[in-house]
Amino acid sequence: MNTEITVHVDGAPRRLTIDTRTTLLDALRERLGLTSPKKGCDHGQCGACTVLSGGRRVLSCLILAVTQDGAKVVTAEGLAAEVATAGGEREDGDLHPVQQAFIDCDALQCGYCTPGQVVSAVGMLDEFARGWPSAATPGTGAPRLDCAEVAERMSGNLCRCAAYANIVPAVLQAAAASTGPASGAEVAR
Amino acid sequence: MKPFDYLSPTDAAAAVRTVAGDPTAVFLGGGTNLVDHLKLGVVEPDLVVGVTDLLSADIEELGAGALRIGAGAKNSELAADPRVREWFPMLSDALLSGASGQLRNMATTGGNPLQRTRCVYFQDITTPCNKREPGSGCSAVGGWTRNHAILGASEHCIAVHPSDMSVALAALDAVVRVLGPDGERTIPFADLHRLPADSPERDTVLEHGELITAIDLPARPIARRSAYRKVRDRASYAFALVSVAAALEVEDGVIVDARIAFGGVAHAPWRAHRAEEALRGSPASVRSYRAAADVELADARPAEGLDGGNAFKIPLLRRTLTATLRDLAREDAR
């Protein structure tokens, strides 16, 4: 059963005629040629397909594309432009602070899970800046971002190379660079 | 995946009429479980009806200390709501102990209680399963039972309900608001899920076409001192082996009242009325907590299986309840 949808992907409206069975992940990869969201497990267990939809991190393998008509979707490829839109000029090759932190901290080995990790970290840092708690947050106060908080908040992104020892510092580095005092949240270094 | 039509009606009444009129039609909420089942062939609808955008996502106050949660409210938003964190901490704890950040951003208040068991045999269409295919047999009986029930199971099904949120809602006396073809009705949350008996294909008492529109939380001052404790095979992003939602009120060293429910041990969130009754009037001591656990677990029946069975869940749940109540009593003493 075919349906026509328009999805705004990485800043551009994309009109598609899709089978209702198509996941957002398959629409991005197979129809739009955007292969940064990866198909790891295809069952919502690994996080490699993570994208932002409506500004929130979600799993594109468990979303039917037909439900995304009119939605604003950002993949790892579109992250740098998001920052540029918010902060001014952008040049080709510019990186999002989370992407730069992953490079600085050598937070990957094979790299397959990395686009999902990076997008998930961007979404997670926004949640943290809003004061959202996690299972690692004690009491009802504002959370403080430390290793335990990052590990808990990023637990939906598996890394088969087990680069976690460098992913956690990368996320903390990006958080320290982007967390303003106004958020009420605090980053431990 | 079998082809299906997709509709997204503009109001709940139209969605209910549409699903009620087609025996294979299904509602689609956050999709975190249903989309997986479409891929696995566990469900094969002719029609999928999207409802997330037409349901309220608001969390509104119903008088002092009470809340109405729209069925469209995302699990992540609900867990972060300051009123939920202050008035019903066990609910925020339960939500945050479940799934991952991405999944909580997708999963809805109405959909979470209707997620289906993660029994591996239920999700594998090549194995017999009475829940997926009534009368075909239960592959879990005598199979891999680590994640299966110790309370309220039947010879036809030993699956457990996977939701953490539902365990807290059962303990909090929540009320489910439902819209069906014949109008609205309310169901006490603790009555929403069924035990398997001889019809494990029915997870809940909802009729085909009935849609959860909201969940109400009555004021429960006792719940301000409450917690959700989950024991699992890895530190995060795993389903419960056992879990405990508990609230405790202690005065002068004596337990005045308690609210307790268990997760990971039955086909439904298990409200522990007998343990609650045993605790009322007892001294706030580890001895009382253990005795209450023993009363509630007197009828527990572990499953035997290829993996050595799940008898370990009985002492594990006893210790988890004891530790949860002990910590709450300490908090109460401060």
Tens digit of pLDDT at every position of chain B (334 positions): 999 999 999 999 999 999 999 999 999 999 999 999 999 999 999 999 999 999 999 999 999 999 999 999 999 999 999 999 999 999 999 999 999 999 999 999 999 999 999 999 999 999 999 999 999 999 999 999 999 999 999 999 999 999 999 999 999 999 999 999 999 999 999 999 999 999 999 999 999 999 999 999 999 999 999 999 999 999 999 999 999 999 999 999 999 999 999 999 999 999 999 999 999 999 999 999 999 999 999 999 999 999 999 999 999 999 999 999 999 999 755 4
pLDDT per residue over A90-136, tens digit each? 677 789 999 999 999 999 999 999 999 999 999 999 999 999 999 99
A51: nearest CA partner in chain B? B102
Q: pLDDT band for position A182 (50/70/90)? A: very low
Between the alpha carbon of residue B169 and those of residues B113, B125, B191, B220, the distances in Å are 9, 31, 11, 12
CA distance A88 to chain B (A): 29
* Of B39, B97, B103, Cβ closest to residue A59: B103
Domain B5-52 and domain B224-333, same fold? Reply is no
> Cα-flanking dihedrals φ and ψ of residue B152, to 5°?
70, 15
Domain spanning B224-333 has what CATH number?
3.30.390.50
Q: Do A133 and B80 touch (CB under 8 A)?
A: yes
Beta-ladder partners of A7: A14
Question: All domains of chain A, ordered by start, with CATH?
Answer: 2-77 (3.10.20.30), 95-187 (1.10.150.120)
Whether residue B236 lies within 8 A of chain A, CB to CB, comes out as: yes
Question: pLDDT tens digit string along A60-87?
Answer: 999 999 999 999 999 999 999 987 766 6
Tell me whether residues B6 and A3 touch, CB distance under 8 A: yes
Model confidence over A16-60: pLDDT tens digits? Answer: 999 999 999 999 999 999 999 999 999 999 999 999 999 999 999
Answer positive or negative: Cα dihedral of A115, A116, A120, A121: negative
Radius of gyration for chain B, computed over Cα atoms and rounded to the nearest angstrom:
20
What pLDDT is attached to residue A181? 45
For residue B230, the chain A residue with the least C-alpha distance is A135
Domain limits, chain B: 5-52, 224-333
Reported CATH class of domain B5-52: alpha beta
How far apart CA A181 and CA A142 sit, in angstroms, is: 12
Tokens for B235?
């530190």
Q: Is the CB of residue B5 less than 8 Å away from at least one CB of chain A? A: yes
Distance, in Å, from the CA atom of B300 to the CA atom of A106, rounded to the nearest integer, reads 50
Q: What is the pLDDT of residue A178?
A: 76
A170 in helix, strand or coil? Answer: helix
Q: How far is CA B246 from the centre of its chain?
A: 14
Which of B35, B116, B228, B229 to mutate: most A Cβ within 10 Å? B35
Give the residues across from B327 on adjacent strands: none
Beta sheet of A72-74, edge-to-edge order: A12-19, A2-9, A72-74, A50-53, A56-59
The pLDDT score that the predictor gives to residue A179 is 59
Chain A segment 134-173 residues within 8 A of B by beta carbon are 134-135, 137, 140, 151-157
ipTM of this complex > 0.85? yes
Note which residues in 70-99 of chain B have CB less than 8 A from chain A. Answer: 76, 79-80, 82, 85-86, 89, 92-93, 96-97, 99
